[in-house]
Amino acid sequence: METTLIILKPDAVQRGLMGRIISRFEDKGLQIVGCKLMQISQQLAATHYEAHQSKPFYPGLVKFMTSSPVLVMAVRGNGAITIARNMMGATFGSKANPGTIRGDFGVSNSFNLIHGSDSPEAAERELRLFFGPGEVLNWKRDGDGWIYDMSGGKAE
């Protein structure tokens, strides 16, 4: 099982899409193991997006991400990073396929609703930025036996 960071960005929060987007992850069978509504500080945004500091879109990205509350989630499942990124769709809503979060809810090429970690290393780093000790929980869902084939001793 892997855990990934998902951020519902200011546009998703302001548009009242949080519940609909969370439902998609839960409907897919992924487990929400941490969740909080928060206002991202300038410092946290700068740290989170430090790899993009030299890019022309960086100032606008930081301004956008600090403009309104966001919902941060720790989402767990077998292959959670790839599954979540596929569910999100292409970066730009105008290019995202229907059936994806961005394809169904977005048209903007700058406001793109959602962030998801792109690798296990990024997920580990990002989860540490947004969640403190004890804020990402380990708990057994009774329904996991109906989500994953566990007959071989591990989730399939």
What would the two tokens of residue 12 be? Answer: 């998703």
HEC letters along the chain: CEEEEEEECHHHHHCCCHHHHHHHHHHHCCEEEEEEEECCCHHHHHHHCHHHCCCCCHHHHHHHHCCCCEEEEEEEECCHHHHHHHHHCCCCCCCCCCCCHHHHHCCCCCCCCEEECCCHHHHHHHHHHHCCCCCCCCCCCCCHHHHCCCCCCCCC
Q: What is the arrangement of strands in the sheet containing 114-116, beginning at the earlier edge strand?
A: 31-38, 70-77, 2-8, 114-116
Instruction: State the catalytic residue, choosing from 80, 112, 115, 136.
Output: 115
| 52 carries an active-site annotation | no
Catalytic residues: 115
